Amino acid sequence: MQALLKVTDLECRYGEKVILESVSFTLDKGEIACLLGPSGCGKTTLLHAIAGFQPPYGGCIALGGKPIATPDAITPPEKRHIGVVFQDYALFPHLNLQQNIAFGLKSLPAPEREARVRQLLQLVHLESFANRYPHQLSGGQQQRVALARALAPRPQLLLMDEPFSNLDMELRRSLATEVRQILREEGMAALIVTHDRDEAFAAGDKLGVLSGGRLQQWDTPENTYRTPASAAVARIVGEGSLLQGKLRQPDLIETEMGRMPLPPSVQAACTKFQIFVRNEDLLPGEHPDAVNAEVVDKRFLGSSVLYKFRLPSGRIIETTLSAELQFAPGSEVPLRINSPVIFTEHQRADLKQ
């Protein structure tokens, strides 16, 4: 099956500064993908290049098998059949909801236009708000109107740039799930830019992790979390501590947090490793491979407690543990690593710890 969107070796620059380099991925019809990464990594530039707002310096973007952007030929944004939902929603303040949604449907006969607007108002659960204006809506409602307006002309692809960033955390995550359902009902392929991994996990069939202008990994959210391609990816998609490890025996790695067995899947030819320890990989309790860590601070979070531990090396690490486990500041707790993500030397990332 031919991919709906195919990005091949894309490079974008602002002047002499390289923003994106060697970016390649595909998106199938009806598939929802999220682009995740820190500020300044190139997420919005990539979205703008696909939309037609940013010319490529190198590579190719194809939609439906036809090139829409190369260094030598660029299809104008209005002819790409791509819908865009901006971060600030960009609703027309002087138009009510149904007029906002109908804005891109002027070429349709009035009965078809009105039917499409009614369908979309029902889809985003705003039928009773049809005559209200944007300033009379909540942030979440404005977001749904912006989505309906972008869906109205039935574009081949929908692009969303940080669509939930203006909302509070709880609403962001619930709306991410709701948007996914709306896109599913429309059968719409979408590419969503976000810096919130919970949004990315909730909304995406695929997850693209950008760092330093390069696409570090393009995979399902679950695979990206469980088997990150590098330490940079692991730090972006999960909370944890990055430790250094050395091979002391053929099947044993030594770290600041004690010893751990070398998994059979890891190349034994290496002698130095990076070990990414997530919260769920850190186990308190007596064990031959544990080290005694001092509790230097604790913060109650409801069902969990955020602890700061000082390791024997002097390093401070943070982790959340179940609230059922209570350790007093100043006490020593034996800690060990269980099934972390291990990176060999060729997977090491130039990333601050």
Residue pLDDT, tens place only, 94-141: 999 999 999 999 899 999 999 999 999 999 999 999 999 999 999 889
Range of weakest confidence among 27-31, 189-193, 269-273, 282-286: 269-273
**Residue 190 φ then ψ, to 5°:** -145, 150
CA–chain centroid gap for 14, Å, is 24
Asked if 163 and 177 count as a contact pair (C-beta separation under 8 A), the reply is no
Sort residue 89 into left (φ over 0), alpha (ψ -120 to 50) or beta.
left
| Domain annotation for the chain: domains and CATH numbers | 5-232 (3.40.50.300), 241-347 (2.40.50.140)
Mean pLDDT: which of 51-65, 265-279, 329-343 is highest? Answer: 51-65
Q: Locate 31 and state its tokens.
A: 């598939």
Asked if 48 and 21 count as a contact pair (C-beta separation under 8 A), the reply is no
Residue 283's DSSP bridge partners are: 336
Instruction: Report the chain's mean pLDDT, rounded to a whole number.
Output: 91
In angstroms, the CA 329 to CA 48 distance is 49
Asked if 124 and 147 count as a contact pair (C-beta separation under 8 A), the reply is yes
Residue 320's DSSP bridge partners are: 306
Res 350 pLDDT > 60: no
pLDDT of residue 349: 46
In angstroms, the CA 182 to CA 100 distance is 18
Segment 202-255, tens digit of pLDDT: 889 999 999 999 999 999 999 999 999 988 999 999 988 899 999 888 888 899
Distances (CA, A) of 56 to 22, 49, 67, 77: 11, 7, 12, 13
pLDDT of residue 251: 82
Asked if 5 and 189 count as a contact pair (C-beta separation under 8 A), the reply is yes
Order across the sheet with 5-14: list the strands: 17-27, 5-14, 58-63, 66-69
Q: Which amino acid is at 6?
A: K
Res 345 pLDDT > 70: no
| Share above pLDDT 70 across residues of the chain, in percent, rounded to a whole number | 96
**Residue 337 φ then ψ, to 5°:** -100, 135
pLDDT of residue 6: 98
Res 352 pLDDT > 50: no
pLDDT of residue 202: 87
| Share above pLDDT 90 across residues of the chain, in percent, rounded to a whole number | 68
Contacts of 84 (CB under 8 A, 6+ apart): 51, 150, 158, 159, 160, 161
Res 351 pLDDT > 50: no
Mean pLDDT of 188-215: 93
Res 267 pLDDT > 70: no
Res 265 pLDDT > 60: yes
Mean pLDDT of 170-198: 88
Query: How many other CB atoms sit within 10 Å of the CB of residue 271?
Result: 12
In angstroms, the CA 43 to CA 212 distance is 10
pTM of the model as a whole: 0.87
CA–chain centroid gap for 127, Å, is 31
**What is the DSSP-derived secondary structure letter of residue 54?**
S
Query: How many other CB atoms sit within 10 Å of the CB of residue 61?
Result: 23
Mean pLDDT of 150-158: 95
pLDDT of residue 172: 77
